[in-house]
Structures are given as C-alpha cells and as structure tokens.
Amino acid sequence: GAGVSQSPSNKVTEKGKDVELRCDPISGHTALYWYRQSLGQGLEFLIYFQGNSAPDKSGLPSDRFSAERTGGSVSTLTIQRTQQEDSAVYLCASNQLAGNTGELFFGEGSRLTVL
Amino acid sequence: EDQVTQSPEALRLQEGESSSLNCSYTVSGLRGLFWYRQDPGKGPEFLFTLYSAGEEKEKERLKATLTKKESFLHITAPKPEDSATYLCAVQAHGNSWGKLQFGAGTQVVVTP
C-alpha cells in the first residue's frame, strides 16, 4: 500500500531488553514524526525529522530513547533497557511540508508491551 | 505550557441524535487546531485544520468550529460508522511543524 508502514505491529519484551521499531514513511514525504500513545492518554510527541535538518528531539522522555532516519526515508526508534512504563503504542507519521495544512499521515502503530 | 482538554471522555448516541464534542485549549500563540478521528487499532486520520477564531470547516456529518479558547466538533444525525475516538490537537507558533499537543480524546459510540 501507499501508506505509512510500521513494524513490528506487536512487540512483547522483558524489562531491561533493547527494542527497535521501524517506520517506512509515504514515498516523497520529507517530514517524519514519532508519537507515543499510552492507554487512556493523548498522543505524546517524541521526535521530528525534516530533510537534512537536525531533528527536533525535544519530546524524547529519556536518554534511553533514540531515533535515526537513514537516507531521508526509513526511520528506526530504539529504546534501550526497556522499562514497564515504556509500554505504549508507538505511532509514526509523515507529511510533505510544502503547502502544509497540518495533516499528518499516521501508520497503524507498533504496540510495545514490557513485562 | 500548552494544554488541551477534551470533554466528554465518552459519548453514547442513538443513530440520528446530534451532539457536540468540546476541545478547550491554552497555547502560547495558536498556529493551528486539528481534529483527527481514530478507529480501534488504527492510527489517527486527519479531519480538519482550523487557524483562526470564527473559522468553520465541514465534512459530511461533521462540522468543526473555533473560538479563542475552544473548538467544537458537531456531529449531525450520526450513523454507526461515525463511532470512533475523536482527537483534538494544537500546534503553537515557534514549535516544529508536526509537533502537536493532543488531548486525550472523546470516544463516541453510535448505536443503531
């Protein structure tokens, strides 16, 4: 399909393990975003990539969280030494900033459960 | 600090029973207010962007309005397929594009 693709869709891990979540944005979209949605809470901004500019990492909750975007396309969100409070749905979104209306195109998310 | 509060948390409607959802916000300079719809197990789907007080946008049975302190999403004669969680978000001047502050959402259930 032509939408934002995320993998894995579900991930169960043990406390203390590292996890990697992957996002394939819509082709041609230069901006990519990661959000986190915890049960019963609103979406929480994590990080934003735009072209070759330095990413906006202001939403990352701790230094255990990092993200990279290779070749201006695929992005990976890495969580090191996972904790139970990291359990959430991690959503990736992308858009084309030209003529931006604020519309973000979201993937279906990666559900992370930390035991 | 930017803040978005949505009410009610949940809303149960009979098919055809119109109602409104509220989104109250405080933000240091509003760039835009956004409404999204989210179905279970899916990512949010964009509905509207509103930029200034007095602005209105419509799409099928949905109409969004904006004042300086709040936004309303009116659902007219809803159908069961309108059942979803509706999310409101704001973007402040000076923030990165796409850095949105979301509310917790209103879960709407429309019964036949």
Task: Report the distance separating Cα A96 and Cα A92, nearest Å.
Answer: 14
Q: Which residues of B touch A (CB under 8 A)?
A: 4, 32, 34, 41-46, 49, 87, 89, 91, 96-105
CATH number for the domain that contains residue B46: 2.60.40.10
Give domain status of residue A51, yes or no: yes
The predicted model gives A3-13 an average pLDDT of: 97
Chain A interface, best mutation among B2, B4, B97, B101, by max A CB count within 10 A: B97
**pLDDT beyond 60 at A1:** no
Distance CA A16, CA A37 (A): 21
Judge whether A82 lies within some domain: yes
The pLDDT mean for chain B works out to 94
- How would you label B31-68 residue by residue, b for 16+ Cβ within 10 Å and e otherwise? bbbbbbbbeeeebbebbbbbeeeeeebeeeebbbbbee
Q: A101: which chain B residues are within 8 Å (Cβ-Cβ)?
A: 49
Using the 8-state DSSP alphabet, how is residue B69 labeled? S
Q: What is the mean pLDDT of residues B20-41?
A: 94
- What CATH code is carried by the domain that includes residue A85? 2.60.40.10
Looking at this protein, which amino acid is placed at residue A33?
Y
Contact A11, A19 (CB under 8 A): yes
Question: How many domains in chain B?
Answer: 1
**Contact call for residues B82 and B36 (beta carbons, < 8 A):** no
User: What is the average pLDDT across A55-84?
Assistant: 94
Structure tokens at B100: 């949105």
Instruction: Answer whether residue A19 is part of any domain.
Output: yes
A52 is a domain residue: yes
The residues pairing with B90 across neighbouring beta strands, listed in sequence order, are: B33, B101
Instruction: From residue B78, give the alpha-carbon distance in Å to each of B17, B68, B71, B85.
Output: 6, 27, 19, 14
A103 found inside a domain? no
Closest residue by Cα to residue A92 from A19, A1, A6, A2:
A6
How many Å apart are CA B102 and CA B87, to the nearest integer?
7
* pLDDT band at residue A40 using 50, 70 and 90 as cut-offs: confident
Residue B85 has pLDDT above 90, yes or no: yes
Residue (of B108, B91, B3, B21) closest to B49 by Cα position:
B91
CA dist., res. A4 & res. B42, Å (int):
12
Strands B19-26 and A43-50: unpaired
Residue A93 inside a domain? The answer is yes
**A19-24 vs A75-79, strand pairing mode:** antiparallel
Length of chain B: 112
Count of the separate structural domains present in chain A: 1
Q: Which residues of B19-28 are buried (b: 16+ CB within 10 A; e: fewer)?
A: bebebebebe
Q: pLDDT confidence of B22, banded at 50, 70, 90?
A: very high
Give the SS3 label for residue B41: coil
pLDDT band at A99 (very low <50, low <70, confident <90, very high): low
Mutate to test the interface with A, among B100, B101, B106 (most CBs of A within 10 A): B100
**Which domain range does residue A69 map to?**
5-97+108-114
Residue A13: inside a domain: yes
Asked whether residue A102 is domain-assigned, the answer is: no
Contacts of B44 in chain A (CB under 8 A): 43, 91, 104, 106
The confidence score (pLDDT) of residue A2 equals 82
Instruction: Please answer whether residues B86 and B59 qualify as being in contact, where contact means their C-beta atoms are separated by less than 8 angstroms.
Output: no
Note the pLDDT of residue B87: 97
